């Protein structure tokens, strides 16, 4: 008998003896008598007051394809003062060794970087720790309609901006990514982005930590890079001091577009 926390009925109980009734109900619900296996036992679900009566549950092994370790549970009942036993409920339940699907996880929590495609929409939750109200330090102000109206009127623009946690998370990803200081390109670069003329620093608190690359020939062109990233397209990489080998003593003019008179 499967241990479901119920107290076994005595063999003399009409509910415990109604195995055939419970099996017939399970076969009718399943639609195929072949998927109803051996009788696993019966447990007393509850003993109600003298007015309502009592109920018990019979368990049957299941051979239903795709439901390994599951069992059929048939609850039968008898009203107080009555001898007739009736079927109350038939369900298929997972046992201790049942194969179960993984716990459901919301889509926005399953999403990984790169999963978002054209037309997809990823709404942020109101309690997203990466965002805070832009116009106040009070988190509850995001629900204040009057505060929103004032913020829009005075030109503060965005209702929410990155929180300290959000900025820290972004910087961590950038440091560990392809355009961070530990990438192979950065380790063999002649200089860091922070000293490059093509480096466009970010505004705000991340100005000293990251920026965008503006060099069309660099692998990170248009990407966010850390200040200590670098590549071979550094603005100073080809700056070599050469001594003049020729001194010009007379003025030279380009006469290709006009005639000398």
Domain boundary assignment for the chain: 7-94, 124-162, 165-226
Q: What is the pLDDT of residue 3?
A: 44
Cα(220)–Cα(209) distance, integer angstroms = 16
Q: What is the pLDDT of residue 258?
A: 59
CB contact at 8 A, 184 and 232: no
Q: C-alpha distances in angstroms, 89 versus 72, 230, 235?
A: 10, 69, 77
Q: What is the pLDDT of residue 47?
A: 57
Residue for token pair 């479901």: 4
CB contact at 8 A, 161 and 134: yes
| 75 CB neighbour count, 10 Å cutoff | 19
Q: What is the pLDDT of residue 245?
A: 46
User: pLDDT truncated to tens, each residue of the chain (261 aa)?
Assistant: 344 434 444 445 788 889 999 999 999 999 988 899 999 998 866 555 566 678 889 999 998 888 889 999 999 998 877 888 899 899 999 998 888 888 888 777 787 877 777 777 777 777 788 888 776 545 455 566 666 666 565 545 677 788 889 999 999 999 999 999 999 999 999 999 999 999 999 988 899 999 999 999 999 999 999 999 999 999 987 654 444 444 444 445 555 565 655
């Amino acid at each position: 008998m499967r241990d479901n926390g119920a107290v076994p009925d005595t063999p003399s109980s009409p509910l415990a003896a109604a195995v055939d009734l419970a099996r017939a109900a399970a076969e009718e619900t399943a639609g195929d008598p072949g998927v109803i296996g051996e009788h696993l036992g019966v447990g007393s679900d509850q003993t109600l007051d003298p007015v309502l009566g009592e109920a018990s549950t019979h368990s049957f092994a299941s051979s239903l394809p795709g439901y390994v370790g599951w069992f059929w549970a048939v609850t039968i009942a008898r009203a107080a003062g009555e001898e007739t036993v009736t079927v109350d409920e038939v369900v298929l339940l997972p046992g201790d060794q049942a194969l179960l699907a993984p716990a459901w996880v919301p889509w926005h929590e399953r999403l990984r970087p790169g999963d978002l495609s054209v037309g997809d929409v990823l709404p942020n939750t109101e309690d997203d720790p990466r965002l805070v109200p832009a116009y106040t330090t009070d988190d509850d102000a995001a629900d204040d309609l009057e505060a929103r109206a004032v913020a829009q009127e005075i030109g503060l623009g965005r209702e929410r901006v990155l929180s300290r946690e959000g900025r820290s998370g972004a910087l961590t990803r950038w440091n560990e990514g392809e355009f961070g200081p530990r990438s192979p390109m950065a380790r063999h670069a002649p200089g860091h982005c922070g000293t490059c003329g093509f480096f466009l620093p970010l505004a705000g608190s991340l100005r000293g930590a990251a920026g965008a690359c503006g060099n069309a020939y660099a692998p990170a062109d248009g990407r966010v890079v850390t200040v200590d990233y670098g590549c071979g397209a550094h603005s100073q990489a080809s700056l070599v001091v050469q001594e003049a080998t020729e001194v010009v003593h007379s003025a030279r003019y380009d006469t290709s577009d006009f005639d000398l008179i």
